[in-house]
Amino acid sequence: MLGLTWLAGLLRRRTGRMIGQAAGVALAVLLLAALGTFFTASRASMTSQAVRAVPVDWQVQISPGTPEADASTVVAAAAGVTASLPVGYADTSGLTSRNAGTVQTTGPGVVLGVPPDYATTFPGEIRPLVGAADGVLLAQQTAANLGASVGSTIAIARPGQSKTTVTVAGVVDLPAADSLFQSIGVAPGTTPTAPPDNVVLLPQAMWNTLFAHAASGTASTQIHVQLSHDLPADPGAAFTDVIGRAKNLEADLAGGGLIGNNLAAQLDGARADAIYAQMLFLFLGLPGVIIAALLAGVIASSGRERRRREQALLRVRGASPKRIVRLATTEAILVAIVGTVVGLIAATAVGRIAFGTSSFGATTAQGLIWAAIAVVFGLALSVATIVLPAWRDVRTLSVREAQASVTTGMGRRPVWARVYLDVIFLGLGGLIYWQAVKSGYQVVLAPEGVPTISVSYFTLLAPLLFWIGTALLMWRIGTALLRRGRGWLRVATRPFAHRLAGVVAASMSRQRRGLSRGLVLMGLTASFAISVAIFNTTYASQSRVDAQLSNGADVTVTTAAAAGLPAGIADAVSKLPGVAAIQPMQHRFAYVGNDLQDLYGVNPATIGQATSMSNAFFAGGDAAQTLQTLAATPNGVLVSEETVHDFQLQPGDTVNLRLQFASDHAYHQVPFTYVGVAREFPTAPHDSFLVTNADYVAQTTGSSAAQVLLIRTDMSPPTVTAEVQRLLGPASGATVKDIVTEQQITLSGLTAIDLAGLTKLELVFALLLAAGASGLVLALGLAERRRTFAIASALGAKRRQLGGFVWSEAAFVAVGGLTLGALAGWWIAQVIVKILTGVFDPPPEHLSVPWAYLTGLLVAVGAAIAVAGVGMLRATRKPSMAILRDL
């Protein structure tokens, strides 16, 4: 009964305190529930997202001599197989077509035998473009090479057999050509990785008839398999599961077949992302939750003096310590209930606003689990911030001490300060960080194909130690400034306090504990907001670099045809509106020893006109110098670091590459001179590739054909893309891509973390926390000293003079906190970016600073402080009679 009376009294008389405490708990609960649900949903969708991109899960290459029917039976019966269809692969030495009296002949290619229901079973593999979706189909590029279209008759040269003719029923695109034509069971790098230039798709029955007597080794059969996608949500577990199933099937086939495991390859890439998702939660999410909890603690502790006096009154009236703790528990439960309910409602609202769904994409069960965690957290937070201090006070303070109106809280320096724990933490963190960076490590190591993932948890200590060390150091700096820098404070507060500057400085100096607490909280929230914003901006900026690297330029036209892009296209494109510059580039393949690598033939003097040549692309960090050297050496070549290492190359060494000559389509040796190292290059793959002079390639191979056209635009890239596509026409076989679309793909990737959504969530929370830390803490701190202000007002202090106290304290907390927070935030962002370097592709050369957001942060903090300060001054304009009557 007393509990209810007590609660009713608190709600009536201490409404502000109760609302403040509940708001603190609500913010922490909101942050935990929203981020937790978001990350769980992201992680759970990783496997399904990764799996969605795979058109054919397994390609089982039937070994020579194994009956297709037997292998098909074994495959169909394997665990998890939901569909399996045989596909014939036959080599052709060339295709021929006659058009208007001219004969077009292509180089070698592949003829596929496709079962009737293949397109419906594996919908992502074949995309009809023109004509029928079944019958004899030509790949888009092949149709372009032959100048063939629907109704054309083409001749297929069959090794060891006579030519046969077929009539084209449709033209198709093969979006997953790389995996469709992969070499199964062959060591990587020993065969060309590019899909064939020429592909014909025949109905299975026709293929069986035409290639029933194919020469040995020129025809084979694969069984394409679709698996049940009932896989573990975690890509790592799904990867292990799929690898296990494949091995099991290979064992069942007893040497009768090898599996090209497309699904495992896809999951292999996603599993490292799953770990990085956890890291992002740890580094970008959890600090926010902890700061929100600290904020709730500070809010609760700002009412501690008054609570002490209330408890002292109760003790005088005979309340036992147990009863006092029970009353505090009642208050904590009410605060927890209100805080968690408001926090959870806010979380669903945030989900709806930021993601369009109140569940953040999580299942009901996942949502309920996080809601339960948030409720427990809210309750624990309330108990920790309200009940524990009350319990400690009851045990340690006498009634007289508890009644003491206000203490300045200037005790001895805390133990951690005396043993320099902050310096020790920062030193240790620095040591771990230095060790990690020095050795060029990756926090997550997921070697390709190896089921286990290595995570260097020890390194994660570095940011943790930095966070704690920084918080303690901020406290040390704040208290030291206030204790020893009274002269400096007097000067600094003069603009607000005028003649009262000395008194204000003295007052602030003696309230150093409370002010330092505000400074630390402000600093931590600012550093959190700044580090998160810098990380996210750097990520977005790198995704632009990544998009530019993978796309090559603002707009890129590519073809896989050896004959290159249609003649005259470069000139035509250069005349289009919005095109600022163009550069043709050769894309060929060359053998370096037994390793087949991509080779790019460029004009080093002009390549930079159409695309950015970053210093980071080249070892030595000087793009201009490296390209100059290449231009000055006609047969010069830039190679990857891996190649330099593998072949022990020294600058000036001759490197003999084998390139395909136009005359006989065969690979011949061509001498090059090693002149430098290229780490990245527009459109190039991440591993090994070669960059050389286009003129030399043209001269030695007999073909100057360019397969890539790089375009710099001075208007919207997608608009230019549409124009270029219109110019090329549908049957050109060329692909046109632009940087904007490419970046959207990159940003929605990290393959599973919706970083854009995460960014929105975190940046908004960081703003809320910063505004809360500055405004709410200042307001509550000032409110707790209403009595002091009432006395000052009774002594005759005018509003302007009271403002001297208020604004000086606010300026110290805000300016000091933001300055220290900015330094700490920048440094922590640096550490997190280095540690999570695997998230970035390519790793950033420097951090990107989000000036607009930081300006917004300043405005939010300034506004919150202004509202708190003005509110307080309004409240003290007339001294409270309730307070004066007590004097």
Q: Kindly identify the residues of this chain, within the stretch 846-865, that bind another protein according to CB under 8 A.
A: none
| Residue 881 found at the interface with another protein (CB under 8 A) | yes
| Residue 461 found at the interface with another protein (CB under 8 A) | no
Per CB under 8 A, the list member of 216, 650, 796, 846 interacting with another protein is: 796
Closest CB to another protein among 308 and 834?
308
CB of 38 to another protein, least distance (A): 44
CB of 397 to another protein, least distance (A): 14
Give the range of 237-245, 341-349, 496-504, 686-694 binding another protein by CB under 8 A.
496-504
Closest CB to another protein among 121 and 788?
788
Per CB under 8 A, the list member of 797, 833, 836, 873 interacting with another protein is: 797
Q: Kindly identify the residues of this chain, within the stretch 396-425, that bind another protein according to CB under 8 A.
A: 404-408
Closest CB to another protein among 239 and 789?
789
Per CB under 8 A, the list member of 64, 650, 795, 846 interacting with another protein is: 795
| Residue 510 found at the interface with another protein (CB under 8 A) | yes
Closest CB to another protein among 802 and 828?
802
CB of 751 to another protein, least distance (A): 56
- Lookup: tokens for 712: 């710099």
Structural contact between residues 577 and 719, judged by C-beta atoms closer than 8 angstroms: no
Helix axes 512-551, 501-510, angle to 10 degrees: 80
Per CB under 8 A, the list member of 763, 792, 835, 857 interacting with another protein is: 792
CB of 485 to another protein, least distance (A): 16
What is the spatial distance between Cα 251 and Cα 141, in angstroms, rounded to a whole number? 39
- Identity at 785, one-letter amino acid code: R
Sole residue written with tokens 């190679």: 639
Closest C-alpha among 40, 32, 282, 439 to residue 832:
282
Closest CB to another protein among 440 and 796?
796
Closest CB to another protein among 39 and 789?
789
What is the spatial distance between Cα 611 and Cα 280, in angstroms, rounded to a whole number? 32
Residues in the chain: 887
Contacts 24+ apart (CB under 8 A), 68-72: 68/221, 68/223, 70/256, 71/223, 71/253, 71/256, 71/257, 72/223
What is the spatial distance between Cα 557 and Cα 735, in angstroms, rounded to a whole number? 6
Closest CB to another protein among 410 and 863?
410
Q: Kindly identify the residues of this chain, within the stretch 798-827, that bind another protein according to CB under 8 A.
A: 798, 801
What is the spatial distance between Cα 286 and Cα 614, in angstroms, rounded to a whole number? 35
Helix axes 286-301, 364-382, angle to 10 degrees: 30
What is the spatial distance between Cα 140 and Cα 147, in angstroms, rounded to a whole number? 10
Give the range of 282-290, 660-668, 698-706, 789-797 binding another protein by CB under 8 A.
789-797
Per CB under 8 A, the list member of 115, 502, 608, 718 interacting with another protein is: 502
773 strand-pairing partners: none
Give the range of 170-178, 744-752, 770-778, 784-792 binding another protein by CB under 8 A.
784-792
**Residues contacting 143, CB < 8 A, separation 6+:** 149, 168, 171, 731, 733
CB of 885 to another protein, least distance (A): 7
CB of 793 to another protein, least distance (A): 9
- Lookup: tokens for 91: 């080599």
Closest CB to another protein among 213 and 877?
877
Cβ-based neighbour number of residue 707 at 10 Å: 22
Sole residue written with tokens 């956890």: 278
Sole residue written with tokens 């931590």: 524
| β-bridge pairing 689-693 and 595-602 | parallel
Q: By three-state DSSP, how is residue 329 classified?
A: helix
CA distances from residue 842 to 273, 540, 547 in whole angstroms, order as listed: 15, 12, 10
CA distances from residue 850 to 463, 536, 680, 853 in whole angstroms, order as listed: 21, 9, 26, 5
CB of 482 to another protein, least distance (A): 11
Per CB under 8 A, the list member of 130, 383, 461, 503 interacting with another protein is: 503
Per CB under 8 A, the list member of 84, 302, 511, 583 interacting with another protein is: 511
- Lookup: tokens for 499: 């003649």
Give the range of 8-16, 195-203, 715-723, 785-793 binding another protein by CB under 8 A.
785-793
Q: By three-state DSSP, how is residue 81 classified?
A: strand
| Residue 526 found at the interface with another protein (CB under 8 A) | no
Per CB under 8 A, the list member of 285, 429, 733, 879 interacting with another protein is: 879
**Residues contacting 289, CB < 8 A, separation 6+:** 28, 31, 32, 35
CB of 404 to another protein, least distance (A): 6
| Residue 788 found at the interface with another protein (CB under 8 A) | yes
Closest CB to another protein among 499 and 686?
499
Q: Kindly identify the residues of this chain, within the stretch 345-404, that bind another protein according to CB under 8 A.
A: 404
Number of residues that bind another protein (CB under 8 A): 29
CB of 801 to another protein, least distance (A): 6
Give the range of 253-261, 505-513, 641-649, 660-668 binding another protein by CB under 8 A.
505-513
Cβ-based neighbour number of residue 344 at 10 Å: 21
By the criterion CB under 8 A, which residues form the site for another protein? 404-408, 499-500, 502-503, 506-508, 510-511, 788, 791-792, 794-798, 801, 879, 881, 884-887
